[in-house]
Structures are given as structure tokens and as C-alpha cells.
Amino acid sequence: MFKKVLPLSSILFLRFLGLFLVLPVLSVYALDLKGATPFLVGIIVGGYALTQAIFQVPFGTMSDKIGRKPTILIGLLIFLIGSLISAYATDIYMLMIGRFLQGAGAIGAVVTAMISDLVEEEVRGKAMAIMGGFIAMSFALAMGLGPVIASHFGISTIFLITAILATLAIGVLFMKVPTPPKIKHIYHNTSKTSDILKDSNLLNMIIINTFQKGLMTVAFVLIPILLTKEQYGFGWEKNELWMAYLPAMIAGLVAMGPAAVFGEKKNIPKQIFLISIVLFLVSFLIMGFTDSSIVFVVGVVAFFVAFNMMEPLVQSMISKFAKVHQKGAALGISNSSAYFATFLGGTFAGLYLDISNRESLTISISALIVLWLIWTAFKLQNPVKHSHLFVPQRDVDFDKLHALEDKNIAEWYINETEDVVVIKYVTEAIKEENLKVKISK
């Protein structure tokens, strides 16, 4: 399983490392560009997310039709071009174009869907945790290296490094990523992408993913500006920002593993999500009202612990709830909504600082988090545990298979690469032996 996940996780690591290197410092450095305002800087910080939101669904759907690897290549090339434009930007608007192009290479959902293709559902939680761990490691490195690189070599160097990382990711794609199995799915009713939004489980996960990513960008706009601008009372230098980010990301990385294990093995993702939302609330209240640098860093730590506890479980739950032929589209819709919230979060935070103060911004964000907490507590359900039956095609009576109707059977499909029929069923409701008898020749 690890050998299948490692190359794809490495691609995400390289891509996210490039994106995250600029996040801890972009808002303060972009303010020095010609034409910059806090509002435009907020758009810059979250700008890549707007085009991510637009292109997630098309990329996810395209990957379901033409294949995952060609789609990932297209996305990485677009990301590479956007990084180069950002590196040579001379004003705020050119940087905005580069950031929009960086986001247009929207491959996150495609990579996650490909991991789902390659890894059995029984160990998919571990696979998503590995993927999340690589993303968290990219966070940790970026939080420590970004401020140091920017202070010594300038932010343009970070974007050039991002272009190099994109090139390395393309190399990994061609040399190390295996080809996923060819899947053939047959359903009694016509399936539509719109069905994804009608599934209450998927809809709730989309909402959770949306809030999580939106709050991330709010934090990345606020943290460097609040710590470095004199009017907020902390007075940090730009090259000191790593002292807030690095311990936060280490704590987040440590918290992620136990959260993923308990969420998956104990089947209690809802409880993990509720704990994370409470931590989000606590973190913003601390950062919004404290005058102490040490307490502020505690708030930053609480934020990243909450974020990293959620990350692997969000992707895993979406891939579990979605049918095999809708994984790319479902993850695309979820990531599209999340990235749109990322753009709005950065824009909202920058605009609010332009016209108001951090205390009133904190109150507004906290009110939204409380609503999110209430919705999740009443609407989200822990998933029903499913198992998979694998039967060689030569042993299957396809007339019986087509006639198979049971509310406890989620779906069935044919893995043509491995020449097996796969049936996903509710573990506690059906015995594997009985199910096998129903479809055997």
C-alpha cells in the first residue's frame, strides 16, 4: 500500500510545498508591490484558490474520462507557468495573474481519487493519513523555510523554487506513479454528478471541507500582518515569523496521526471533527484578543492542530461515501467549494482589516464557527462500516449479479485490470458467504 501511495503523496508534497512557502510571508511582502492594498493582498493570498474552485470539478470529471495521469500532467504544467509569472511580477496585478494560474492547475482531487483507485477501502484511511502527513510535512517545512528564504533572497526566489518543485513533480509522475486499474461500473439507474449534492453524507463533508479551507486562508492573511505591523502591538520582524509557524506545524503533525487512527479505527470521525471545530474557535478568539506574543503563538498552535486533525479524515470520508465512478467528481466538487471558500476567506480578511479592526473580525469569524459547530453536531453521522467482496469474473453469474438488489449493497463494479467483480456491502447486515452464493455460477 505504501509503495502505491508514496509517489502520488510526493507529487502533492512538492506542489503544496511550493504553494505553502509563500503563504506565511506573502501578505506582508505583497504590500510593498506597486498598487498594493490590504484588500488586494487578501485576493493575492487566496487568489490561487479562486481558480482552484473553478477548475476542480472539470479536472476531476476529466480524470474520470481520460485518465488520472494525463490530467495530473496538464495541471502541473499550468502550475509551473503560474509560478514563473509570479516570480517575475513587478506589480500587484501581475502577481495576481500568476497566482490565478497557479490555482488553475487543480489536481488535488485527481491525486486523491487516484489514491482511492489504487488502494483498497479497508486501508484507504491509512493511505489518506499518509497523504495528509506529506501535506503536513510540506506545511512544516514551508512555515520554517518560507520566512527565512524571503528575508534573505526575496519572495521572487520562492516562486522560482516553486517552479523547480513543479518540474520535479512531473518527473515523479512519469517515473514512479503506477497506472490505476481499469474500472467498469454498471448501475440500474442513470447516475448524475448532481446526485453527489443530494447525498447528505457527501454534502456534510463538503461543508466541513469548505469551512476548514476558508479558515486556513483567513489565518494566513491575519497571522503575519498582526505580528509584524506596529499598530497591532507585537512588532515582530518578518524573518521572525518562523517562531510562530514552526511549533504550530510540529504540534499539528503530531496531532494528525492519533486523530486519523481514532477516526478510522474507532469509526468516530464526527467526534474528531467536533473537537477540531472547538479548537478553531479557541484559536481565533486567542489571536483576535490577546496582547501577548506567547499567547498569540498558542493560538496559532491551536489552529494548526485543528486543521491537521481534520485533513486526512475529510478526504477519506469523501472517498468512502462516493461511488467508484464519482470519486473524481465528488472530490472535485468538495475541493472546488473549499477553494472558493479559501479565496473568500483571504479576500474577506483583507477587506475587513481595511475597514475595521481585528477584534470585530474575530467576533464575525467566531460566530460562523459556532454555526458550523451546531450544524455538524446535529447533521453529521458517523459512516456505516462497509466491506468488499472480491470474486473472479469467471466465477460470477452476471444475470444474477445484474438482478442483485439489496438496500445493504452500496454498489458493485468490475476491476478489469485484475479481472474481478467487487461488491461493496454493509458489514453487519450481510455475510460474505451468503452474498457469494447469490452471484456464483
Q: What is the mean pLDDT of residues 178-206?
A: 68
pLDDT at residue 340, rounded to an integer = 82
pLDDT in tens, 334-378: 877 887 888 888 888 888 887 888 899 999 999 999 999 999 999
| 142, 224 contact by CB (below 8 A) | no
Strand, helix or coil at 8? helix
pLDDT in tens, 240-289: 887 888 888 788 878 887 887 788 778 888 999 999 999 999 999 999 99
pLDDT at residue 294, rounded to an integer = 95
Q: What is the mean pLDDT of residues 303-316?
A: 85
Q: Inform me whether the pLDDT recorded for 105 exceeds 90.
A: no
pLDDT in tens, 355-367: 888 899 999 999 9
Entry pTM: 0.75
pLDDT at residue 38, rounded to an integer = 77
pLDDT at residue 190, rounded to an integer = 47
Cβ neighbour number for residue 313 with a 10 Å cutoff: 27
Distances (CA, A) of 103 to 80, 234, 266, 299: 10, 32, 36, 28
Cβ neighbour number for residue 408 with a 10 Å cutoff: 13
CATH number of the domain located at residue range(s) 2-379 in this protein: 1.20.1250.20
Q: Which class for 231: exposed (0-12), middle (13-18), buried (19 or more C-beta within 10 A)? A: exposed
Lowest mean pLDDT among 121-130, 175-184, 308-317, 335-344: 121-130
Q: Give the span between the Cα atoms of 213 and 117, in whole angstroms.
A: 25
Residue in 333, 276, 267 with CA at minimum distance from that of residue 307: 276
pLDDT at residue 128, rounded to an integer = 67
pLDDT at residue 366, rounded to an integer = 96
Q: What is the mean pLDDT of residues 195-200?
A: 77
Q: pLDDT-derived band of residue 188, with 50, 70 and 90 as boundaries?
A: very low
Cβ neighbour number for residue 302 with a 10 Å cutoff: 23
Residue in 383, 95, 137 with CA at minimum distance from that of residue 253: 137
Rg (CA), the chain: 22
Question: Where do the structural domains in the chain lie, given as residue ranges?
Answer: 2-379, 386-439
- As given in the structure block, the three cell numbers for residue 327 are 470519486
pLDDT: is 211 or 390 the higher one? 211
pLDDT at residue 276, rounded to an integer = 96
φ, ψ at 426 (rounded to 5°): -70, 120
Q: Inform me whether the pLDDT recorded for 95 exceeds 80.
A: yes
pLDDT at residue 189, rounded to an integer = 47
Taking all residues of the chain, what is their mean pLDDT, rounded to a whole number? 82
Per-residue exposure over 49-61, b if at least 16 CB sit within 10 Å of its own CB, e if not: bbbbbbbbbebbb
Amino acid (one-letter) located at 136 = A
pLDDT at residue 414, rounded to an integer = 79
- As given in the structure block, the three cell numbers for residue 55 are 477548475
Q: Inform me whether the pLDDT recorded for 1 exceeds 70.
A: no
Chain centre distance of CA 253 = 15
pLDDT at residue 325, rounded to an integer = 64
pLDDT at residue 429, rounded to an integer = 78
Q: Give the span between the Cα atoms of 40 and 31, in whole angstroms.
A: 9
